[in-house]
Structure 1
Amino acid sequence: MLTSLPLDGLISTQTTAFSPVPSIIGGLIGYILLVLALWPVFRKAGKPGWGALIPIYNAYLLVKIAGYHGALVILYFIPIVNIVVAIIVAFGVGRAFGKGGAFSFFLLWLLAIIGYFIIGYGSSQYVGPGGRREGIAGAPAVA
């Protein structure tokens, strides 16, 4: 004898409400941490610290610290290309503060907030845009 299965257990007629509150709180915490990490980085590089507060402007400042033209920020809006650009900028920022490639890749791109905290609050010294020393005798001036 075949018994029928109750469909009530298989088909859910209730919907669960998604609460955006945890996402908003997490986003705000991440934003505050990023601002706290970037502010001293910008100050060390001679840029305005408050620039960390403005989302696209802080990317522009990082590109300038990395030693690239500010228009490079536009490439952040192109999917896949933005990943490559972020890696290139991370290496430039690392060079600007005298850091090597492994530090730049892992702590300025992959775990960016941690890397910027280390650069900003650590003993790293700003060398120049993209690691090029400016105004030092014997070093070529960069226009």
Structure 2
Amino acid sequence: MIIIHNFNEYKSFEGQIIGTSPWYLIDQNQINLFADATLDHQWIHTDKQRSEDEGPFGSTIAHGYLTLSLIPFLWKQIANVRNVKMEINYGIENFKFGQAVPVNSEVRLQATVRSVNDLKGTIKVIIEARLLIRNQVKPAYIGDVIFLYQFL
């Protein structure tokens, strides 16, 4: 895990892959809980039998937004940003879903620091987030996550 204490340390990683999280298993229970939380019970996510019989993936798949919602958790496995009085998930840009994440897949986040800018004391960091699926060449998605920080 990388530890970042201030703007200059963050800036030193600009243009680099900063790290990759450990593998994380997405199981059917988590998919079902996400479906309940978001009221998105489309059968491709929640109906095991129908997904096996009729679905294009041979099983249920994780919601795309479930996989996106893992970014803060997986990011914390890569980087520990310290000396922060404020941290905000500011936005996401240019996300493309490359392939579905079948149930019981293991995924991990690969993060590249695209840019680090000081906006009058608020640090804007753009991270390229790439969600990798174990034993798959193509990532589940690629896109930019924007964080805002104010260091102590």
> TM-score interval w.r.t. the shorter chain?
under 0.3
Answer 1 or 2: which has greater strand percent.
2
Answer 1 or 2: which has greater helix percent.
1
Instruction: Normalising by structure 2, report the TM-score.
Output: 0.26
Instruction: Normalising by structure 1, report the TM-score.
Output: 0.27
**Bigger radius of gyration, 1 or 2?**
1
Structure possessing the higher relative contact order (Cα contacts under 8 Å, 6 or more residues apart): 2
